[in-house]
């Protein structure tokens, strides 16, 4: 009797979309952690942790440069509260899980079948791999922003009829956090998601209740106003602090090149910037020593150069970017999601798919013109809204036993093919040695008075959960060739700002 009661309660709990979303997200998290070792790919994430954990030996600070200073101060408090935990990574994980749980709750509220569970699990696995195994502040901001907009869409189509104030609260908080963590990610992924929502409304001819529309203005306006105020305060804090004012001038350019890269070297671009090809590549890679901010001035010029919107560059885009998607694992994930919409009971899917392809292509073209389409971050920020658009078009998904079996077979075969082609990049390992002891041993083994080190590449070889030792680079006579550290006064001794202009590694 007790066993039957427990089973009935479990079934009742499982029937709730919140519980199913929680279960599927936990499953996705466990699977991706079994597949790969969490690590950071981008210099900006490493540098922000370096500030929080005080690797310079000077002092810990919440002035983390690439996210808002108030996010940095909050993380600094957490780091001081529990010193054995990498709170920067935990922060990314918690927000990512919360956003995915919210997305799953809404999708599974509209779909109750096993094929719907499988569809969301695929979404959670591909997004989870990007955000859990290769975490980054921009990815966290992007998933927060699209989850908030997905909830907005849910309200507009009538999925939330009770306690809408809770959804409004989530929308406001998620959008605000996304903007504070990375306003660039919010702008790119959020804009694409809004376009897909508008397209959905037009193609499906959804009539919006004016009252619902008015309700949504409150969280949107509140989040936007608070974001502008806090960003202005962030700017003021750097401006009024001794030797930190240069951060406001150059951090946007450093971040853009670091996260999105830059166009491949061309003779006309080199002539415009007055750089030879090897100097250009050193600058883009971030491995430079600069005098009187000369490298940062070149970076600013580079971010403004980009590609002209000419027929020649559009042709270059068509010949390079679409073909490069074959090497992007997330592209396959979003492709599978759209294939699974075969089981959705909604019309005009082909029209929505065609519109999505066009908007996605325009998103890539914009990034190609402004920067490049060569980093996984660019693909994530553009393809994430594509996945959300697919989930929007999934409603009352149903499949027979034979159809589920066929779908599962095709997914297994596709997974094998994907693993064969990209297994080396998907399966990851990290350095297990003590960071400080390993660096000390390496430096002493060189037997030189000064040692040039690519600090970010060294730190990226360790687990994302590994916390950097306080004073890690102090008293080791290091010359850090990661030029972005020159922005930060704490590293004046080891960045050799006055050593010269652009030099080779």
Question: What pLDDT shows up at residue 11?
Answer: 65
How far is residue 127's CA from residue 380's CA, in Å, rounded to a whole number? 9
Of 224-233, 372-381, 460-469, the range with the highest mean pLDDT is 224-233
C-alpha distances in angstroms, 439 versus 73, 181, 223, 388, 446? 28, 30, 43, 43, 11
Question: What pLDDT shows up at residue 138?
Answer: 95
479 phi and psi angles, rounded to 5 deg: -110, 110
Provide mean pLDDT across the span 391-402.
75
End-to-end CA, the chain: 73
Whether the predicted pLDDT of 297 surpasses 80:
yes
Question: What pLDDT shows up at residue 398?
Answer: 67
| Radius of gyration, alpha carbons of the chain | 24
Provide mean pLDDT across the span 272-293.
78
Question: What pLDDT shows up at residue 175?
Answer: 95
Higher pLDDT, 372 or 292: 372
| Percent of the chain with pLDDT strictly greater than 70 | 83
Task: Tell me if residue 6 falls in helix, strand or coil.
Answer: helix
pLDDT band at 415 (very low <50, low <70, confident <90, very high): low
Whether the predicted pLDDT of 342 surpasses 50:
yes
> Which are the contacts of 259, defined by CB distance < 8 A and separation ≥ 6?
42, 44, 138, 184, 375, 377
Task: Count CA atoms closer than 13 A to 475's CA, side-chain side.
Answer: 5
Higher pLDDT, 187 or 474: 187
441-453: per-residue pLDDT in tens? 776 666 666 777 7
Residues in the chain: 505
Find the helix packing angle between 87-110 and 376-392, rounded to 10°. Answer: 30
How far is residue 160's CA from residue 105's CA, in Å, rounded to a whole number? 11
Whether the predicted pLDDT of 502 surpasses 50:
no
Question: What pLDDT shows up at residue 505?
Answer: 32
Of 173-182, 310-319, 332-341, 489-498, the range with the highest mean pLDDT is 173-182
Tell the residue number behind the tokens 């791999």, with chain if given.
129
Write down the mean pLDDT value for the chain.
82
Question: What pLDDT shows up at residue 237?
Answer: 92
Provide mean pLDDT across the span 247-260.
88
- Render 144-203 in DSSP notation, one character per residue: HHHHHHHHHHHHHTT---S-HHHHHHHHHHHHHHHHHH-HHHHHHHHHHHHHHHHHHHHH
Question: What pLDDT shows up at residue 230?
Answer: 95
pLDDT band at 503 (very low <50, low <70, confident <90, very high): very low
Provide mean pLDDT across the span 385-396.
86
pTM: 0.90
481-494: per-residue pLDDT in tens? 877 888 888 876 55
88-99: per-residue pLDDT in tens? 999 999 999 999
Higher pLDDT, 343 or 317: 317
Question: What pLDDT shows up at residue 374?
Answer: 78
Whether the predicted pLDDT of 268 surpasses 90:
no
Question: What pLDDT shows up at residue 209?
Answer: 76
Provide mean pLDDT across the span 276-304.
78
Least confident of 70-74, 118-122, 284-288: 284-288
Whether the predicted pLDDT of 82 surpasses 50:
yes
Whether the predicted pLDDT of 146 surpasses 90:
yes
Provide mean pLDDT across the span 250-261.
88
Provide mean pLDDT across the span 420-439.
64
Question: What pLDDT shows up at residue 501?
Answer: 36
pLDDT band at 504 (very low <50, low <70, confident <90, very high): very low
Least confident of 302-311, 408-417, 452-461: 408-417
Question: What pLDDT shows up at residue 448?
Answer: 66
Whether the predicted pLDDT of 101 surpasses 60:
yes
Whether the predicted pLDDT of 217 surpasses 70:
yes
Tell the residue number behind the tokens 């697919």, with chain if given.
390
Question: What pLDDT shows up at residue 161?
Answer: 73
How far is residue 289's CA from residue 436's CA, in Å, rounded to a whole number? 24
Question: What pLDDT shows up at residue 139?
Answer: 96
Higher pLDDT, 25 or 435: 25
Whether the predicted pLDDT of 497 surpasses 50:
no
Cα 16 to the center of its chain, rounded Å: 29
Provide mean pLDDT across the span 191-196.
94
Higher pLDDT, 481 or 124: 124
């Amino acid at each position: 009797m007790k066993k039957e009661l427990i089973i009935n309660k479990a079934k009742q709990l499982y029937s709730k979309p919140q519980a199913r979303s929680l279960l599927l997200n936990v499953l996705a998290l466990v699977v991706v952690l079994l597949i790969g070792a969490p690590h950071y790919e981008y210099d900006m994430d490493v540098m922000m942790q370096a500030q929080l954990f005080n690797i310079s030996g000077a002092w810990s600070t919440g002035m983390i440069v690439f996210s808002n200073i108030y996010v940095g101060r909050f993380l600094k408090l957490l780091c001081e509260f529990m010193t054995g935990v990498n709170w920067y990574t935990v922060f990314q994980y918690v927000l990512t899980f919360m956003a995915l749980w919210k997305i799953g709750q809404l999708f599974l509220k509209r779909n109750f079948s096993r094929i719907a569970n499988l569809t969301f699990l695929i979404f959670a696995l591909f997004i989870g791999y990007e955000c859990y195994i290769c975490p980054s502040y921009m990815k966290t901001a992007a998933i927060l922003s699209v989850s908030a907009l997905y909830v907005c869409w849910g309200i507009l189509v009538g999925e939330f009829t009770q306690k809408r104030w809770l959804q409004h609260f989530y929308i406001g908080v998620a959008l605000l956090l996304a903007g504070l963590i990375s306003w660039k990610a919010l702008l790119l992924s959020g804009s694409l998601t809004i376009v897909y929502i508008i397209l959905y409304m037009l193609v499906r001819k959804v009539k919006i209740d004016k009252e619902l529309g008015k309700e949504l203005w409150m969280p949107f306006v509140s989040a936007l106003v608070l974001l502008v105020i806090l960003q202005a305060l962030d700017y003021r804090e750097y401006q009024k602090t001794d030797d930190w004012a240069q951060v406001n001038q150059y951090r946007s350019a450093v971040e853009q090149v670091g996260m999105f890269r830059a166009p491949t070297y061309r003779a006309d671009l080199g002539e415009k910037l007055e750089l030879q090809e090897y100097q250009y590549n050193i600058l883009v890679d971030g491995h430079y020593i600069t005098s009187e901010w000369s490298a940062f001035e070149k970076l600013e010029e580079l971010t403004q150069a980009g590609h002209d919107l000419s027929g020649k560059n559009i042709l270059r885009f068509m010949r390079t970017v679409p073909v490069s998607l074959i090497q992007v694992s997330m592209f396959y994930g979003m492709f599978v999601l759209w294939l699974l919409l075969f089981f959705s009971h909604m019309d005009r899917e082909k029209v929505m798919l065609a519109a999505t392809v066009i908007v996605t292509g325009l998103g890539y073209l914009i990034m190609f013109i402004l920067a490049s389409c060569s980093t996984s971050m660019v693909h994530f920020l553009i393809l994430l809204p594509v996945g959300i658009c697919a989930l929007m078009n999934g409603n009352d998904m149903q499949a027979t036993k034979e159809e589920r079996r066929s779908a599962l077979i095709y997914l297994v075969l596709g997974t094998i093919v994907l693993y064969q082609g990209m297994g080396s990049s998907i399966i990851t390992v990290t350095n297990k040695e003590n960071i400080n002891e390993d660096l000390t041993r390496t430096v002493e083994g060189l037997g030189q008075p000064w040692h040039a080190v690519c600090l970010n590449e060294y730190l990226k070889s360790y687990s994302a959960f590994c916390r950097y030792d306080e004073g890690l680079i102090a008293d080791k006579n290091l010359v850090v060739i990661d030029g972005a550290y020159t922005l930060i006064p704490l590293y004046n001794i080891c960045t050799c700002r006055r050593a010269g202009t652009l030099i080779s590694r």
